């Protein structure tokens, strides 16, 4: 969707400020927000793509005025409400007001390290041949879905070259909305900066974006 998270090419936000020796967390509440989000994700109540969509659908004024982990927390609030795991009243009270709702899985403290090291692979077996090969010229589709997509707004309707073929992966556009994984081919596509940003941009700039096959057509 064209939300506040899709900031590529937007002006007025200033440069990205790099913090030297930046810590993983700037305060204890951020650690807790990270931990609770991972623990709830491990319950299997929603997919990773659904959690991304929950964050990107925050109102723009809220999204742009929130810090990184505030966005995570606000997205998690939406997810637990939608899944019926808490009520509006419980969220406002900041505590449970009744028996806990059952979940599919519970991530125990002793299992955290092994679970994180294992990760959540999204590659899947190949069932159909790839439509494109390295060196093929492609054009991204012009699309403005109200649902989740990983095709950035600034990279739509632009020509590029297939630089890598990553195999078959879960398709986020369907997985975010309970429509199944629908695995499809994933490619690394190389773009010229001038093709995306126009002739006034840095002529030496290139972008490499990983894009799923349904986003692409032959150029």
20-52 burial: b if 16+ Cβ within 10 Å, else e: eeeeeeeeeebeebbeebebbbbbebbbebbbb
**pLDDT tens digit string along 96-150?**
999 999 999 999 999 999 998 988 899 999 999 999 999 999 999 999 999 999 9
User: Cβ-count burial of 53 within 10 angstroms (0-12 exposed, 13-18 middle, 19+ buried)?
Assistant: buried
Q: What is the CATH number of the domain that holds 114?
A: 1.10.472.20
Domain with 170, as residue range(s), is 123-218
Count of structural domains within the chain: 2
CATH classification of the domain holding 181: 2.30.30.50
Neighbours of 144 (CB within 10 A): 9
Question: Is the confidence at residue 9, as pLDDT, over 90?
Answer: no
Q: Are residues 142 and 60 in the same domain?
A: no
Residues 157 and 191 in one domain: yes
Same domain, 131 and 55: no
pLDDT digits (tens, 9 = 90+) for 32-89: 999 999 999 999 999 999 999 999 999 999 999 999 999 999 999 999 999 999 999 9
CA angle 116, 213, 138 (to 5 degrees): 130
CB 208 within 8 A of CB 192: no
pLDDT per residue as tens digits for the range 28-41: 999 999 999 999 99
Please give the mean pLDDT across all residues of the chain: 95
Q: How much is the pTM?
A: 0.91
Rounded CA-CA distance 160/208 in Å is 9
3-state secondary structure of 124: strand
Region of poorest pLDDT, from 6-20, 90-104, 156-170: 6-20
pLDDT at residue 20 greater than cutoff 90: yes
């Amino acid at each position: 969707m064209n939300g506040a998270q899709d900031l590529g090419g937007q002006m007025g936000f200033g440069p990205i400020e790099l913090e030297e020796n930046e810590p993983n967390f700037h305060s204890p509440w951020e650690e807790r927000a990270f931990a609770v989000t991972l623990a709830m994700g491990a319950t299997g109540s929603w997919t990773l793509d659904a959690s991304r969509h929950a964050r990107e659908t925050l109102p723009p004024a809220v999204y742009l005025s929130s810090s990184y982990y505030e966005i995570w927390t606000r997205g998690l609030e939406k997810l637990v409400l939608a899944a019926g795991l808490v009520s509006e009243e419980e969220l406002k009270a900041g505590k449970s007001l009744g028996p806990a709702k059952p979940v599919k899985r519970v991530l125990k403290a002793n299992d955290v390290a092994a679970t994180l090291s294992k990760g959540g692979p999204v590659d899947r077996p190949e069932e159909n041949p790839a439509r494109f090969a390295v060196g093929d010229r492609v054009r991204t589709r012009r699309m403005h879905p109200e649902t989740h997509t990983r095709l950035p707004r600034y990279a739509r309707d632009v020509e590029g070259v297939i630089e890598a073929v990553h195999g078959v992966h879960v398709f986020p556009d369907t997985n975010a909305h309970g429509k199944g994984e629908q695995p499809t081919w994933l490619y690394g596509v190389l773009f010229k900066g001038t093709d995306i940003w126009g002739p006034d941009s840095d002529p030496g700039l290139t972008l490499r974006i990983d894009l799923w096959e349904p986003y692409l057509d032959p150029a």
